[in-house]
Structure 1
C-alpha cells in the first residue's frame, strides 16, 4: 500500500502515508498528529481513488468508525466525487458514535453536493426528526438549500415553520438560506419579508436580497437596497456586492451609475480581476456605451469565454449585429471555443441580419461538437429556425431534445404563431401541461395572438381562465395580450373589462385605440386617446396611427349616414399628425397611408393624390391601395387607373387590385377594360387566395378552405359530430 501511495500521491502525501503505515506495523496507538495528518490527506485528495486510499489508512489505524471528524471529511469527499453508496455506508457505521446533529448535518450536505439531495437529503432530515436528534443552527441551512435547489417551496415553508418554532429565525445564516429559498422559488415578497424581519444582517444578506431583486427585473428597488446597505447599515460592500450591482445599472441602462461603479472597482484594485471586468463589459454594452465596453474588453489580459460572450451580448443588445458577428469571428480566430452561451447569443444576430445560411452552419458546428442537445443551444436553434420561417426544422429540433423546459415549449408555441399555424400553437399549450410543465406569462403572451388569429373566442376564453387559476392575470404583458385577443375577436366588452381591471401602460391604450379605430365605434378611439394624454401617458407612433385611422373610418361612417361635410374630421386627423411631428416622432408609411385613407374616405380624393405626390418617401402598395379604394368609393376612374398602374408594378401578383379596378370599369360599363384586366391578371399568374374558415367541433378546431374535403373521418362521422 505504501508504494501505491508513493506513486499516487504527491511527495508530502507519501511521507504522511509512510508514517501512518509504520504506526500500523508497530501497533502503536494513533496520536493527535496522526489524526491531523489524516485529515490533511483527506482534504487534499484529488480523486475518488485517493479518497478510498485515505479511507483505507484510517481503517488500518483504527480511527474508524470512532473518529466523527474523519468520517465527516470522508463523507464530503465521497459526495464530491459522486459516490453516495460509500458515504451512506460510512455514515451508518459511524453515526452511533456521534451524540449531536453534526454527522446528520454532514450527510444532508453530502446529498446536496452529490446532486441527489431532493429525496435522500430531505429523507435524512425527516429521520432526524423521527429519531429525536436535536436540530441545530447548521441543520436548517443545509435542508433549506436542498429545498431551494429543488424549488420545493412546500417543504421549505414547512421547515421555515420549524425554524420559527425552535427560535432559529434570528440566526443570520438560517435567514440567508431562507432568503434564497423564497427568492429562487419566485416568492419575492416573502423573501423581502424575511429580510425585513431579520434581527441581524451581514453582507451576504444584503447581497442576496439585492441579487434576487436584480434577477427578477426590479432594478430600481435593488438599487435602493444597495444605497440602504451602504448609507444606513454601515456594512461595506464586497466584490460580490459590486458585481451584483452592475446588472442593475445595465438593467436601468444607467451609464453614469456604471461609470461610478467602474471608478470604485479601480479605486479598490479589483480592475485586475477578470470577473469584475466581464461584468463591466456587459454593463457598458447594455447601457449603449460601446466605446467604453470595447475599452474595458481590450484591457482584459486573459480573456475567457465570459469576456467574449459579454461583448457579443452587449453589441447584440443594442442592435450592433454586424459588430457582434465580427467579434464572434475574432473569438474563433483567437482560439477560444464558443460555449452554449456564445452560440445562444449569436444565433439571434444571424436572424436579425437574415443570415440563415450562417445560422445553419452554427447548427452544424453544434452537431460536430456534440452540443446540439444542450438545452440553451436547442432553444436558441428553435427560435432561430422559427424566426427564419423554417417551422419544420424548429419542430424537428424540439422533438429530438433529450429534455425540455418551459423556454422550449414557449419557443415552439411562438414558432407556430410566427409561421401562421395558430391551431397547433393552441394545441401545444395543452401538451405543455400534460408534460408536467407549468405555463408562465411568456406562454400566455405567445399563444393569445394565435387565439386572436383564429378569430374564435373559445380557446381564448379557456386560456384566460387558465391564467386566472395560475395567478398570471396581474401581469401587464398578459393583460395586454388578453385585451388584444378580445379586441381582435370583436369582443370589445370583454376587452374593455380586462382593460378596466388591470394596470395600464401606453401599449394597453394603443391596443384599444387601434382596435376601436377599425370598428363603427371609432369615436371611442379618440376618447381613449384624450384619456391617455390626461393621465400623463405619452402617445407614440402607434397611438397616432390609431387616431388618424379612426378619423378616416369615422369619415366613412358619416359618409354613409349623411351628406354632411367631413372637413372637421379631416382637420382633426391633420391636427393629430402635426402633434406627432411636434413630438419628433418619425412618420412611417402606415401614417401616410392613414392620411391618404382619411382624405379619400372624406371625399377629398384629389387632395389625397396631391399628398402622395408630395410625400418625402416612396409610396408603397398600402398608400396606393388606400387611394384606389377611395377612387372606387367616389367613382374616380381616371385617378383609380393611375393608382392601379403603380400597384401592378409593386405587387403584380396581388389579385385584389385587379379585381377592384375591374369592378370600377364594370360599374361604368367599360366591359372591354374589364376583359383586358382579367387577361392581364391571368398572364401574370395573379390568383385569388381561397377563403379559410374555422369550425369548432366539441373541443377541437378544424380549418377548412374552398373545395377542402374532410379526410380521416369515417363516413358520416364528421356530420355526426355536428349533431
Structure 2
C-alpha cells in the first residue's frame, strides 16, 4: 500500500493480535507511531491485550497516558481494556479508578472489575460488586458467574455461592459448561460434595468436571468415589491429565490401596506422565503412606528436578520409620542440592540453625519440636519450650504435647494440654477421647466419665470410623458397620 491510514494499521495489528502473534502486533504499532499516524481508540483497545500477553505492563501504563493525552480515556472499549490490564498486573486500585471514571458502564466493564477483584484476592469485594451491578440494573451473565464463583470457593463462601447459583438458574446461565464447572468447584471446596455431585449429574461434563470431583473426593472419607470417576473418564474416552492422576493417586494413598495405586502408576508410565513433578510427588506420598519406602525411593531417584515437596516426603517417610540417620542425611543432601528448605528440620541442631540464620519459626516448627522432644521422652523439656514461646501456642503445639503424654502415660501434663485444646477447639472430639482413654487406662474411671460428660455437654461428636479392606481386585469400605462401595481395580489396567 502506498498510503496507509489508521484503519490500515489497526487492521493488521488486529489480525496479529487475534492470531496471538503479539510481537508482530507490537512491531506494527511501533512502525505506525514512527510513521506519524495518530492511534485511535481501536488501536489502544487492540494493543492493551497484546501488552498483557507480553507482560509489558509498564508499556500498558504508557498507553494509558497516551489515551489521556488524546482524550480517549472515557472510551468504553479503551477503559475496559485498561481495567483488564491493571487487574492482570496486580494493580487493583488503578483498575478501580478507571472503572469509577466510566460514565456509562456496560456488562464488559462490570465483568472486568469482578475479575479484577477475584484475581487479586479481594473475594468479598467481588461478591459485593455482583450485588451492586444487579442493583444498578445490569444483569449478570455467564462470564460474571465464572469470575465470581472461584472467589466464593477460595474462602468457603457457601451462602453467597448458593445465591449466585440461584441467580444463574434464573438467567439460564447454569447450563453453561464453564458456569456448571465453577459451581461444582465452589460446592466441592466448600465441603458440600453432595451438592457438587448434584450439579455434576444434571450438567454438561468435560474433563474439568470430572477432575473437580476426583480431587474433591480424594480429600474425604469417600476416596473410593475418586477411583470410580477416574475409571468412568477412561471408559468414556476422556483424556486423563495431570490433575486426574494427582487426584486418584491421592485417593489411593488415603485408602492405602497399594494394588490400585500401582496400577495407576503403571498407566501413568504408559502415558509418559509419571515424570511430571506433581504426579511424581503424589506417587511419593502414596508409596510412603502404604509403607513402601523402597518404591518411594525408586520414584524419588527418577525425578529429574526435585522440589521441596519431593525432599519433604522422603525425609518424613524415613522419619516415620525411625530411620533418623537416613532422614538427616537426606536433609543435608537437600541443602547441598540448593533446594530451599522449610519446616522439615529434624532435631535441635536444625532448630537452632534456623535461629542462627534469623529464620523466624512458625507454629508448625514449634509443634514439630514439641513432638520430637515428646516422642524422645523429654516431655519436661517440651513443656519448657512451650512456656518460652514468643507467640501463643496453637492447637498443633498443644496437640503434639498431648500425643507425647499419651505415649508416655503422663496424665498430669495431658490434662494441662487438654485444657488448652478444649478452649481452642471445644467441639473437637478427639482431644476428649484421648484424655478420657488415658484416665481409663490408669483406672481413674470417675475422671474418665467426667471428660465424657464434658464432651457430650459441648456437643462434640466423634466421627464414625472408616476402614478399607482390599480383597482380590476390590477395595471394600466400611463405616460404622455399614458396607459402602467396592472398586474393581482390574478396570484400571484398561487403556482408555
C-alpha separation in 2, matches of 1:284 and 1:426: 42
C-alpha separation in 2, matches of 1:334 and 1:710: 50
Bigger CA radius of gyration: 1
CA-atom RMSD in angstroms: 3.5
Is 1:330 the counterpart of 2:132? The answer is: yes
Shift of 1:421: 1.3
Is 1:263 the counterpart of 2:82? The answer is: no
Residue number in structure 1 paired with 2:373? 599
Shift of 1:616: 3.7
Alignment of 1:432-581 (within 5 A): 432-502=233-303, 503-539=305-341, 543-544=342-343, 546-547=344-345, 551=346, 569-570=347-348, 572-578=349-355
Instruction: State the Cα deviation string for residues 149-170 of structure 1 (Å, max 9, x = none).
Output: xxxxxxxxxxxxxxxxxxxxxx
Shift of 1:314: 2.3
Q: Which moved more, 1:261-270 or 1:375-384?
A: 261-270
Change beyond 3 A, Cα 1:290–1:517:
farther
Change beyond 3 A, Cα 1:445–1:662:
closer
C-alpha separation in 1, matches of 2:281 and 2:381: 37
- 8 Å CA contact 2:158–2:190 kept in 1: the answer is yes
Alignment of 1:375-386 (within 5 A): 375-386=177-188
Shift of 1:395: 0.9
Instruction: State the Cα deviation string for residues 90-115 of structure 1 (Å, max 9, x = none).
Output: xxxxxxxxxxxxxxxxxxxxxxxxxx
| SS in structure 2 of the partner of residue 684 of structure 1 | helix
Residue number in structure 2 paired with 1:388? 190
Change beyond 3 A, Cα 1:272–1:641:
closer
- 8 Å CA contact 2:437–2:448 kept in 1: the answer is no
- 8 Å CA contact 1:409–1:432 kept in 2: the answer is yes
| SS in structure 2 of the partner of residue 538 of structure 1 | coil
C-alpha separation in 1, matches of 2:484 and 2:269: 36
Is 1:358 the counterpart of 2:164? The answer is: no
C-alpha separation in 1, matches of 2:417 and 2:137: 58
Residue number in structure 2 paired with 1:644? 418
Work out the number of aligned pairs and report it: 458
Using the size of structure 2 for normalisation, the TM-score is 0.80
Residue number in structure 2 paired with 1:318? 120
Instruction: State the Cα deviation string for residues 563-608 of structure 1 (Å, max 9, x = none).
Output: xxxxxx43x142244267x24x5x4432221122223234432232
Is 1:397 the counterpart of 2:199? The answer is: yes
C-alpha separation in 2, matches of 1:235 and 1:514: 59
Change beyond 3 A, Cα 1:384–1:266:
same
| SS in structure 1 of the partner of residue 467 of structure 2 | strand
Shift of 1:516: 3.4
- 8 Å CA contact 2:477–2:484 kept in 1: the answer is no
Change beyond 3 A, Cα 1:521–1:307:
farther
Shift of 1:235: 6.8
C-alpha separation in 1, matches of 2:485 and 2:81: 58
| SS in structure 1 of the partner of residue 389 of structure 2 | coil
Shift of 1:687: 7.0
Residue number in structure 2 paired with 1:307? 109
Is 1:243 the counterpart of 2:49? The answer is: yes
| SS in structure 2 of the partner of residue 439 of structure 1 | coil
Instruction: State the Cα deviation string for residues 671-714 of structure 1 (Å, max 9, x = none).
Output: 3x2442135325633776554332233433111246446999xx
C-alpha separation in 1, matches of 2:307 and 2:54: 23
| SS in structure 1 of the partner of residue 283 of structure 2 | helix
| SS in structure 2 of the partner of residue 372 of structure 1 | helix
| SS in structure 2 of the partner of residue 335 of structure 1 | coil
Shift of 1:461: 2.0
| Gap regions ≥5 residues in structure 2 | 1-11, 34-42, 487-496
Change beyond 3 A, Cα 1:498–1:208:
farther
| SS in structure 1 of the partner of residue 245 of structure 2 | helix
C-alpha separation in 2, matches of 1:609 and 1:475: 43
- 8 Å CA contact 2:436–2:451 kept in 1: the answer is no
Shift of 1:339: 1.2
- 8 Å CA contact 2:64–2:73 kept in 1: the answer is yes
- 8 Å CA contact 2:17–2:25 kept in 1: the answer is no
